[in-house]
Amino acid sequence: MSPLKGVRKNLETKDAVAKDGVEKASESPKKGALRENIEAIAVAVLLALFIRTFVVQAFKIPSGSMKETLQIGDHILVNKFIYGVKLPFTGHTLVPVKDPRREDIIVFEFPEDPDKDFIKRVVAVAGDEVQIRNKTLLVNGQEQSDPYAIFTDERTLPGNIQPRDNFGPVRVPDRTVFVMGDNRDFSYDSRFWGFVDLRAVRGKAFMIYWSWDNDAFGFFDFSSWAHAVRWGRIGNFLR
């Protein structure tokens, strides 16, 4: 074989290897793309679960017990790490930050049915003495200004009938809080079923991200759709 033919054959062999490598390389991204998509979805799911468990969670308001602060159909965000990082399912605090304070709006597991979440306002914390006298809230013997409370029932019920308007005095135990709804005459809260254990507290409500008035919505009345959205409440921070 002449030197020229040997060089040409060697170049053809190298070229064939190069083409084969290109073809294989063109196949590998297709296989890699599927794997990358699965990994991206898995990371997104894990991140979403992490955020929902430890950072922030969305809730919908189903009742009027917190009127006028919260309306039926409000969708809120709850800060889950403000009271510390908790171990899921147990409520055990891994990294303590701070405890709920008076006037905080908290979401918690309902003591009578832990599968349900309730939202109320903290009116007293551990060590406080709570009393309600003719609808007036007293904490440690001091009458509270209670700026968020509303009363829509003119009746004042005696304590021997039910504790709504006349209650206590009682002292809040350690590691618990006493909560009430802002709609005082129509709220099922600590006056009726007792204290909230801090382990049951999910977090602090801090913002309304969406609000929908279902009573103003007509499915076939398209003009009502815009009116059903409470635009003025979206983005409001809670106090």
Active site positions, annotated = 65, 120
Whole-angstrom Cα distance, residue 121 to residue 206?
12
**C-beta of residue 125 within 8 angstroms of C-beta of residue 106:** no
Whole-angstrom Cα distance, residue 166 to residue 155?
12
Residue 163 CB contacts under 8 Å (≥ 6 apart), including other chains: 132, 191, 192
Amino acid identity of residue 130, one-letter, is V
DSSP 8-state secondary structure symbol assigned to residue 191: H
Q: Identify the bridge partners of residue 48 per DSSP, sorted by sequence position.
A: none
Whole-angstrom Cα distance, residue 160 to residue 158?
6
